[in-house]
Each structure stands twice: as C-alpha cells, then as structure tokens.
Structure 1
Amino acid sequence: MSENRASFYNLAWRWHFYAGLFVIPFMIMLSVTGSIYLFKPQLDDLLYSDLMRVAPEGRMLSADQQLAGLMAAYPQARVSQYLPPADASRSAQFVANLDGRKQNLFVDPYRGRVLGVQDAEYNLQAVARSLHGSLMLGTLGDRLIELAAGWGIVLVVSGLYLWWPRGQAMRGVFWPRLGNRGRLFWRDLHAVTGFWGASLLLFMLLTGMTWTGFWGERFADVWNRFPAAMWNEVPTSDVQARSLNTATGQTLAWAVENTPMPVSDPHAAHRGHAAVEMAGSAGRLSLQQVVDTARARGVVPGYSITLPAEATGVFTIAVFADDPRNDATLHLDQYSGKVLADVRWKDYGLVARSVETGVMLHEGRMFGLPNQLLMFGVCLLILLSAVSGLVMWWKRRPQGRLGVPPLPHALPLWKTAVGIMVALGVAFPLVGASLLLIWALDWLVLSRLGGSRAVTG
C-alpha cells in the first residue's frame, strides 16, 4: 500500500475515534433526557397532580367562562394557547405571557378558579425536551445535536460492519464472555450491546433526525407533500406551521410543519359572517365556538387551541395524537369561523405516515407502558454502549497520551468502513461538512506543525 493511502486510512481511523468521543457525551445526555420525557405522563401526575387533577362537580364551565376566571385572577396575562381538559378529571390549561415569562396556568373547569402557575420553559419536562432537542442553545444547539446524531448513525453503521461476525465464535458477539477481565470485558460489553442495540439505536437516531432544523427541514420539504389544491382557495402567509412548535413544547405534528399558515380576513365580520366578542376583542370568535368546531369536526380530546396573535392570524386546533391516525390540524378564520384548512391522517403521504408512526414509537406514546419500557431499555443500552466505549478507548489509548488505538490489521474491512462513512457524509450534510473540515484542519495545521504523531500516537 502506498504511503499516501496508508496516511488517508490512518487519518480516517483517527477521526472515527475522535467522532466517537464527540458523540458519547451527547448519547449519554440524550438517553437521560429521553428517559425523562418518555415517562412524562407518569412524572407529570406525580409532580403536578395538584395542578392537573380536579374533582368533577356538575357541568364544566364554558371555555370563555374558564378564560374569564383566569383573567379575573391575572388581568395582565396575555393568553396564547388553550388546552381543554382531556377528560372529566383533568384541569384546563392556558399558556400565557405573564410578567415577561411564558407560563402555564391551570384552571378548575368546574369552579373557574386558578389552581396554580407553572413556568412553561423551566419545568422538568420542558427542560428535558429543550436539552434533548437543542441543548437549550437555540439554533446552535440544534445543529450540535444534529451533528452528534448524524455521527452517531455513521459510527453505528461502520461499527456494526467492523464487528459483524465473520466465522468467529459467537461469544463476544451475541453474548459477553463474562469470565474476561480488563479491556476484553469492556470490549465484549461494548460489542454485544452495540450488536443487539444497533437497529434500535438507528431507529431512534433516524426518527429523531426528522425533527432537526437543518436535515429535518430539508427532508420534510422533499418528502412531505400535500396536494397543492388543498391551498388553492385559502389565503396563506409566508409563515410555516412549524412556527407553532418550540423547543419546550410540541403543538402540531411533524407532517404539517412545512404547510403554510392561512390568514384571516379582517373584513369578514362586516360581510354578514357570524362574529362574537371574546375577551373584549370585537368581531372575533369566542373560544367556546372554536371548541365547538373541534367537537363537531371529531377532533379527539387532548388537542390545543392556539389563539391568533395579530389581526390576520388564525385559530389553530391541533392534536399530536398518541395514535397518529387521530392527528388533526385545523386553521379557523378568527372572524368568520370558516375552517380554512383541515389536515388529517388521510391527507398524509406514505413518508409522512411512516415518520409520524416512528416518532410516536420513539416517544413511547403509541402502545402505552410497553412502548415506554421498550424505549427505556433502548436508552439503557445506549448508556451502556457509550460508557463501555469510553472505558475501552481509555484502556486502549497509547500509553500516556489521549490518542487513538493503532489502525487495525484487517485493512480491507476498514476500507469498506471508510466508504460507509463517506456515503453517510453525503447523506447527512453536516456530517460531510465536518469530515471535510476535520481533514482540512489535520492537513493544514496538525501535519504541518508535526503534532499529528504526538497527538494521535
């Protein structure tokens, strides 16, 4: 083999390990925060039962009466969203800007009193979700998570190829050799957890990638299409529906994120359309009318109503259902009450249906507790694989240096693994860009400073 080719493969081998060291902290963080979010229903009931549970008594007040009770207690609140009680024992929830912060306000739907206030961005689940999706760093954090997830896919696929059994004993591949000690024990633990967890980890990474801000948006733009005729007679804005989703909360399904937000006609109220005053806004629909529309249209409980933020805004009824076949996204003209868009499962394409189903499985919501426990098991596998990989690297590093182990002797296998890395770098642009950047840095800086040998051993 020529010196240049050997140098290339050594370089790829080094950055394969460095990428692993970069990915491991993210995998640990994603596993921990994902485990917290998996058990959101149970943890919410445990931590916030005084806010979320009520004793049924008679008939529920109308949505407008609930809103009136809230405004009487907090007249300075600017309400942006309403979540009707999901069942008879649940409270109603309003999301509002209060004292300069986004807050969740819980209202007893039978008595109209405010049960309490919760910071919408700094409660356990909101923080776990924000860390999981963006490290609480906005766009920068989203890109780092996407980069780590993309590299995670590269490492799983190339690592699975390198570890795939080729005639050797099944011990150490399908089950660990528990009698071993030291590096071999950690090697077996890493290989076995990686082998059994590879397909599930790939599933978790790929379904999570659909929510990322760079690759995910472009994936949606290519594959998530609705018939253009759905919007032919609907006045639309340049804003997409994804603007309703935030790092700390999910309002509507992935399948409709790249659809346009319709606009309301401020003159509709003057042309004979139904119009009712609500909370002092003359000519706008009442909140109860929007609730009635949701019921009439068969939207399942658990939906939210996002209020219009401006004169041309719309009411948005959305449910991101545990069973994606019950997903619904409706936009209503805030003056006339006309349903401008009504998007359901039947309107989703094959890719959108697949993604939505995958996301529900990813979040442990589709089959209840068994789904939660399965995904929690995957999180534990990821944690074990990450920690064992870190220990294995530490034990195999060159003596006294934070370098990488020597290039394996089975170079034909590594050649194919490099090919896999390059192909996935093309499929995931941030991974590909990081590969080019790293290689350029190595060539321009490290090799010219003569530091490559000292750094990598």
Structure 2
Amino acid sequence: MKQPKVNFYNLAWRWHFYAGLFVAPFMVMLALTGVIYLFKPQLDPLMYGSLLNVPAGHHSVPADDLLKRVKAAYPQATIKQYLPPVNAERSAQFVVLNAGNELNVFVDPYHGDILGEQDAKKNLQAVARAIHGELMIGTVGDRLVELAAGWGIVLVVSGVFLWWPRGQAAGILWPRLSSRGRVLWRDLHAVTGFWGAAFLLVMLLSGMTWTGFWGKQYAGVWNVFPDAMWNDMPKSDVEARSLNSATRQTVPWAMENTPMPMSGDHAEHMAQGETQAGPAAPTISLQDVQNIAEQRKVEPGYSITFPTTATGVFTIAVFADDPRNDATLHVDQYTGDVLADVRWEHYGNVARATEMGVMLHEGKMFGVFNQIIVLLICLMILLSAVSGVVIWWKRRPQGKLGVPPLRHDLPKWKTAMVIMFGLAVAFPLVGASLVVVWLLDRVVLSRFTRQTESAPSS
C-alpha cells in the first residue's frame, strides 16, 4: 500500500518530537537553576546574612586600609576585585585568588574586621549560574546549552503551528478540565505552550545573547560603538568580555566585545610592538579609584577590577538592574586618568534592547513584579516539559520508544517551512543539528519503521 506523502504538518510533528526529546531535560535544568538565581536578592541575605549585613556606622575605613587588612590575612593571595558596600548596612567585599581558589572575602567597612570568606565558585548562586550557563563544563557545556536554547525556539515555533486553533478553542485556548488521562495532559501541554510561547521566546532569545558562539557573533554584528570612542588611547588585544566568567558578571553585555585600553608609558611601548614587562604596579590608590566612581556618579553596586599587568587598567563597572544606569570606566593605573567612560547613552538601539531583555530575563527590571512573571514562566516551562513527556509516553507506538503516529489530514504550510529554514540559518548550531536529525530520521529511523510495519505479526 502506498504511503501518503508526508506534508509539513508531519515534518513539524517530527521536529517538535525530536526537539522536545532533546530540549526537555535542559529546559527543566534551566528553569530550576533560573529560579534559584532569580531570587538571589532574597536568598543571599538569608543564607549569608552574617557576611553581608553590618550595623550602619558613622565613619567608613578608607578602601586602602581595608585592602591592607585583606592582604595581611591572605599574604600569598592576589587581589582581583573590590566591591564597595551597596548601602550603609552592607559589608565591603574583596575577590581574592588564594592557593588556586577564588574567594569572596567580606569586610566590615566601619571597623575593618574580616567577617568571613566564601568560595566564589561553589556557593549556591555561583553554582546555579554556572550550571545555567555552561553546565559547569566550560565551552562544551556552553555549546550544549546554546543548542538546547536554539532547539527550544524550534520547539516553540513548531508547537504553535501544531496546536494553532483550527475551528476549535477548547484544548488550545483553555484546557478541558473535565477530561482525563492523555487528553487532559495534552490540553495542559497545548494551553501552557500556546499562551506562553511569546514569553518563552523572549526568555530563549535574551538568554542566547550570552552564549559563546551565537551570542558572540550577534554581539559582533549589533554591539558596535563608534571607532572615535577609542581613538585617543592605546588599545590592547584583550576584550572586556575577559572580565566576565560563568560565575561572575562584571561588565554589561553591551561592553563585552570592546577593547581594553592600556595604561601610561607602558602602553605606548606596547603599541609600538615591544614586549610587556612585569606585573601591575599601580601608583594611584584604591581609594582614588573609588573616589572617581563616586565623583562620576556610578550607581552603587559597582565593582573595581584591579589591573593584572604593567599595561592594565582599573575597571569600574556596574551591570545595573536598570540598564539605563549601566557604567563601565577604565582608569589608568599610573595617572588616574579616565580612559573610557561608557554609559547607556553610548549604546546602540539593539544593544539597549538586548540589555533590557537580559534584565527582564533575570527578573531585575521591575523588582518583585518582574520576579513573579519570570517565576510563572519557569513554572510554565516545567509543566510543558513534564506534560510533553507524559503525552508522548501515552501516545507512543505500543511497546516502542519512537515517534507517535503521524497524521496525514492537514495541508502543507509553506510559510512555516520558510520560517523553520530561517531559524536554521539564523542559529547555525540548530541548522547543523537539524540536517543531522533529518538524515537520521530519513535514512535510519524511517527504514526501521517501515521494516517494523512490514514484519508479519505473531
């Protein structure tokens, strides 16, 4: 018997199935770790109150005296960053590299007492962020998360097509709560996906901007500053993204692909091709750098990153909850000259939109309201993932783990085909994997299915 020609609906069905099979575990992981990081402002004071909270005092100890206390307590350590107190009731913080470990060291800003330390990469929020971004396995993990997010976009697009109302609203716009079994699970999956599709796309696309492959290419195209901003200073080959890591965000996304300036006479020699010599030896004080931040009205919550080489700079940066308060300043370690001062008004329109998308993604733009919205989206993701697995299990071929039976009663949707191939081009990792899955499905799985169907029943 001749098989009916598979139309786009059936192709979308297969893509949706394969995407769900691959994406579901990642979506559950991203939702759970996202919820943990989402409530960092509430969780940190509860979990680490003895390190973060101090009674408000009248006179603060100068930053350089705090630095001396930390150096005395960790004589073999390298000081990486200083984070002044966010408000009058919060401690100061130093990030130190000590015996191969990165530590957050908390200091009372009024008395100079060291309150304690925290492993910068193994506390709850750092672990959640590292898993969320790269599964704690570096570049390979970053690519897997990027691939999952890209396939998540395919999942949303194909899902909307599959479940788009065709003459009925029940089961699409609202669940049939009187139903039971597979029908109820199917409705829960369809309704949450239908109403949440736009929100999920915003979350996936804003998250993709941080990925190491697609995100870097995206930034290279859209995150561009006028060359004139960097003409009056020697520039290194190092980009500002080097200050960010999987567990710590220092500079805003919009600044990641900008060049790091170089300091003083050393910079002139380096610009002429001479070899860099020696470690950093700043002649301006840490308090001088903090004074610059205050004089230039950088929003509290900023960090000061120390130079690591003779040509390096101090970097004052705040990745603000409201991106309109973002600031990135590079300061010459010898003269105290501000070599660059980049704010929201210097960002391009795409960079501004991206920064706002990232802050919405992290639940920071509108305080608790934003957190509640993102929490609901995460719960929707969990429900969609679980219900998708359940309806596949209930509808799978008897005794098999394959694709549920295909339908042949719906017309082709040429526009959807164009959109799907557009996604494959826009997200190269998805496109490459889509080709692999299509070949696997056509050459291996389809042949196996035909053999199974043609085999005589016992």
Q: Same fold (TM over 0.5)?
A: yes
> 2:195: which partner in 1?
196
For the residue of structure 2 that corresponds to 1:173, the secondary structure is coil
Calculate the aligned-residue CA RMSD, in Å: 2.2
Match in the other structure for 1:210: 209
From the superposition, tell whether residues 81 and 4 of structure 1 become closer, same or farther in structure 2 (CA, over 3 Å).
farther
- CA distance 1:282–1:313, change in 2 (3 Å): closer
1:268 to partner: Cα distance: 8.7
Query: Percent of aligned pairs with the same residue?
Result: 66
Cα pair distance change 1:105/1:3, threshold 3 Å: same
Instruction: Say whether the 8 Å CA contact 2:10–2:408 is kept in structure 1.
Output: no
Structure 1 residue 336 corresponds to structure 2 residue 335:
yes
* Residue aligned with 2:264, SS: coil
| Distance of 2:420 and 2:385 partners within structure 1 | 19
Secondary structure of 1:374 counterpart: helix
**d(CA) in 2 for partners of 1:27, 1:454:** 34
The amino acid that maps onto 1:150 is G
Q: Are 1:106 and 2:103 counterparts?
A: no
Write out aligned runs for 1:379-398 (5 A).
379-398=378-397
Q: CA deviation at 1:411?
A: 3.6
Q: 2 CA distance for matches of 1:139 and 1:89? A: 39
How far the C-alpha of 1:6 sits from its partner, in A, is 3.1
Counterpart contact for 2:57–2:88, Cα < 8 Å: no
Say if 1:282 and 1:194 are closer, same or farther in 2 by CA, change over 3 A: closer
Counterpart code for 1:134: E
SS of the aligned residue for 1:329 comes to: strand
Instruction: Look up the match of 1:287.
Output: 286
Shift of 1:73: 1.6
Q: Tell me if the contact between 1:404 and 1:456 (Cα under 8 Å) persists in the aligned partners.
A: no
Question: Take 1:407 and 1:117, find their aligned partners in 2: how far apart are those partners?
Answer: 58
Q: Which aligned pairs between 1:369-384 and structure 2 lie closer than 5 A?
A: 369-384=368-383
Report the equivalent of 1:311. Answer: 310
Checking the alignment, whether the CA contact within 8 Å between 2:12 and 2:162 is kept in structure 1 is no
1:325 lines up with 2:324 in the alignment: yes
Match of 1:276 in 2: none
* Aligned position for 2:271: none
Which residue is equivalent to 2:275?
none
Residues 268, 198 of structure 1: alpha-carbon distance in 2 compared, 3 angstrom cutoff: closer
Q: Distance in 1 between matches of 2:425 and 2:184?
A: 35
Give me the whole-angstrom Cα distance separating, in 2, the residues matched to 1:337 and 1:395: 67
Say if 1:267 and 1:202 are closer, same or farther in 2 by CA, change over 3 A.
Answer: closer
1:421 — aligned with what?
A: 420
Q: In the alignment, which of 448, 451, 455 is matched to residue 448 of structure 2?
A: 451
| Alignment check: 8 A CA contact 1:403 1:456 kept | no
Query: AA paired with 2:58?
Result: G
Q: 1:346 maps to what in 2?
A: 345
The residue that corresponds to 1:230 in the other structure is 229
Matches of 2:35 and 2:453, distance apart in 1: 35
Using the TM superposition, give the Cα deviation of residue 414 of structure 1 relative to its aligned residue in structure 2, in angstroms: 6.0
* Distance in 1, Cα, partners of 2:36 & 2:167: 41
Contiguous gaps of at least 5 residues in structure 2: 269-278
Aligned to 1:75: 75
Provide closer, same or farther for how the CA distance between residues 393 and 268 of structure 1 changes in structure 2, counting only shifts above 3 A.
closer
Equivalent position amino acid for 1:73 in 2: A
Quote the residue 2:63 is aligned against. Answer: 63
3-state SS, counterpart of residue 6 of structure 1: coil
The CA distance in 1 between the partners of 2:159 and 2:7, in whole Å, is 21
The corresponding residue for 1:32 is 32
Shift of 1:454: 6.5
Gap runs ≥5 in structure 1: 270-279
CA offsets 1:148-203 (integer angstroms, 9 cap, x no match): 111111110121122111221x2211211111011100010001101111111111
Q: Is 2:280–2:312's contact at 8 Å kept on the other side of the alignment?
A: no
CA distance in 1, matches of 2:9, 2:366: 45
Moved more, 410-419 or 47-56: 410-419
**Is the partner of 1:346 in helix, strand or coil?**
helix
Q: Distance in 2 between matches of 1:98 and 1:142?
A: 27
Give, in whole Å, the separation in 2 of the partners of 1:282 and 1:181: 71
Q: Which residue of 1 aligns with 2:129?
A: 129
8 Å CA contact retained: 1:266, 1:335: no
Whole-Å separation in 1 of the counterparts to 2:237 and 2:85: 32
Counterpart-to-counterpart distance in 2, 1:359 and 1:19: 24
Alpha-carbon shift at residue 413 of structure 1 (Å): 4.8
Q: Measure, in 1, the Cα distance between the counterparts of 2:422 and 2:146.
A: 17
Q: 1: CA distance between counterparts of 2:281 and 2:305?
A: 18
Q: Distance in 2 between matches of 1:314 and 1:412?
A: 62
Distance in 2 of aligned mates of 1:440 and 1:261: 45
Q: Give the CA deviation at 1:18.
A: 1.7
Aligned to 1:178: 177
Inter-CA distance 314–151: structure 2 relative to 1 (3 Å threshold) = same
Partner of 2:254: 255
Q: Partners of 1:372 and 1:231 in 2: how far apart? A: 37
Q: Deviations over 1:67-125 (max 9, x none)?
A: 11111222122110010001110001111111211111001111111111100001000
Deviation of the 1:393 alpha carbon: 0.7
Per-residue displacement from partner, 1:376-403 (whole Å, max 9, x unpaired)?
A: 0110011111111110111111000001
Residue 284 of structure 1 and its aligned partner are, at CA, apart by 2.2
Give the whole-Å Cα distance in 2 for the aligned partners of 1:13 and 1:415: 15
Pick which of 438-447 and 426-435 moved more: 438-447
The code of the aligned residue for 2:115 comes to L
* Match in the other structure for 2:147: 147
SS at match of 1:293: helix
